[in-house]
Amino acid sequence: MRKIDLLLAEYGESHRNHTNKLIHWFCVPAIFFSVVGLLFSIPSGLLLEPLSFLGNFSNWATITLLAVLIYYISLSVPLSLGMLFFSALCLALANFLNIAFPGKLWIICLGIFVIAWIFQFFGHKIEGKKPSFLKDVQFLLIGPAWLMHFVYKRIGIAY
């Protein structure tokens, strides 16, 4: 069995309750986006100067997402393409909010992050099982992939 299948199955063990799953469909993407937005908010400074040709996307969020996508590629190339698309949407939304609300992106994202995690823990209380990432931190990245694999199954794409 492939590593991605094992990780998705293990993640799924603590996400069987309908309400918890529903909460995850909203909160996991919200948390992913909020982290992207928080990273986007960190001043780039001279360290990222060689990437200035990327314009607004010369930032810590882009660098971090490249590393995350390498991890996803190591698990599943098709799944990583879906995560690339979602990551690009998150970057675009962060850029839009950064332009629309100058200097406020980090506050918006911090609020989303806190509220989404409150709901996540509430969902796990309903489930009666601890979040998977408490066992292994890599499950913080498996959560979004777990949702993406359901999207792939729904539209008939092998992951």
Q: What is the pLDDT of residue 59?
A: 86
Q: How far apart are CA 16 and CA 48, in angstroms?
A: 42
Nearest to 113 by CA among 40, 41, 48, 30: 30
Q: What is the pLDDT of residue 46?
A: 60
Full-prediction pTM beyond 0.75?
Answer: yes
Tally of CB atoms within 10 A around 67: 8
One DSSP character per residue, 51-90 reads: GGGGGGG-SHHHHHHHHHHHHHHHH-HHHHHHHHHHHHHH
pLDDT in tens, the chain (159 residues): 899 999 999 999 999 999 999 999 999 999 999 999 999 999 877 666 666 666 666 789 999 999 999 999 999 999 999 999 999 999 999 999 999 999 999 999 999 999 999 999 999 999 999 999 988 999 999 999 999 999 999 999 999
H helix runs in the chain, sequence order: 3-13, 18-41, 60-75, 77-100, 105-127, 139-155
Nearest to 97 by CA among 34, 54, 149: 34
Q: What is the pLDDT of residue 44?
A: 77
Helix 60-75, helix 139-155: angle, nearest 10: 60
Helix 18-41, helix 105-127: angle, nearest 10: 160
Per domain, the residue ranges of the chain are 3-12+30-155
Q: What is the pLDDT of residue 1?
A: 83
Q: What is the pLDDT of residue 66?
A: 95
Contact 34, 116 (CB under 8 A): yes
Look up residue 158 and give its two tokens.
Answer: 């092998």
